[in-house]
Amino acid sequence: MAEKAAVSDRVLTVPNAISLARLLLVPVFAVLIATGEDGWAFLVLAVSGASDWLDGVLARRLGQVSKLGQMLDPAADRLFILVTLIGLAWRDVVPWWLLVAIVLRDLLLLGMLGVLARRGYGPLPVHLAGKAGTFALLYAFPLLLLAEWPAPVGTVALVLGWAFAWWGIALYWFAGVLYVVQAWHLLSADARGADVRAVP
């Protein structure tokens, strides 16, 4: 309850500025990965992953949790994950099935959010599993890119990168199932309430 009361309508906050900067880094990374500038692309990915953690910490510690931030942060996460996966798959750094697995989960949740919105519900609260899955994926990508470097750096990065990737995918889908179950309970309760109100 306290966390909900702390959410504000402020726009100009430090966490929002960080999230906006992350969004602006997306096309920068796309150009770098497409032109083979792997060193700079790795740096952008590392900065994005670290700033994703930083903006959440600052929002809570500075009391700057905002509605805009609650939209910007996951939007930046999703866009960065999507663009990064497309770039890495296009470069054959990761297989295309990894991109499909992530996109299918996000499409599922997008459809679910549409159904909830038509019933008057807003976005569901973020689960720890979903945030952990996102963190794991954002840490996996720079490691998988680093795996293109010669051994021993590339070998170690490959093992760690795929470890983070598998954990990320598992947590990402686990959180997706939790969101679907939560939405089902909301819609079922709504339907039961409508049935009760319909009884003369």
Q: Which CATH number fits the domain that encloses residue 96?
A: 1.20.120.1760
Structural domain harbouring 103? 2-198
Distance between CA atoms of 69 and 53, rounded to whole angstroms? 13
CA-CA distance, 43 to 142, in Å (whole number)? Answer: 8
For the chain, the residue count is 200
Q: What is the pLDDT of residue 193?
A: 63
Q: Total domain count for the chain?
A: 1
Packing angle, helices 67-90 and 128-146, rounded to 10: 30
Question: What gap in Å lies between CA 150 and CA 141, rounded to an integer?
Answer: 17
Tokens of 65: 């949790």
The whole-angstrom separation of Cα 139 and Cα 128 is 16
pLDDT tens track of the chain, all 200 residues? 344 446 777 778 888 888 888 888 889 988 988 888 888 888 888 888 788 778 777 777 877 777 777 777 778 888 888 888 898 898 888 999 999 999 999 898 888 888 888 888 877 777 888 889 988 988 898 889 888 888 898 999 999 999 999 999 999 999 999 999 999 988 888 766 654 444 44
Residue-wise DSSP of 110-177: HHHHHHHHHTT--PPPPPHHHHHHHHHHHHHHHHHHHTTSPTTHHHHHHHHHHHHHHHHHHHHHHHHH
> With contact defined as beta carbons under 8 Å apart, do 28 and 82 qualify?
no
Quickly tell me which residue has 């991109």 as its tokens: 99
pLDDT for res 196: 45
- Phi, psi (rounded to 5 degrees) for 80: -65, -40
Q: How far apart are CA 182 and CA 21, in angstroms?
A: 32
Token pair for 168: 């990320």
> How far apart, in Å, do the first and last CA atoms of the chain sit?
36
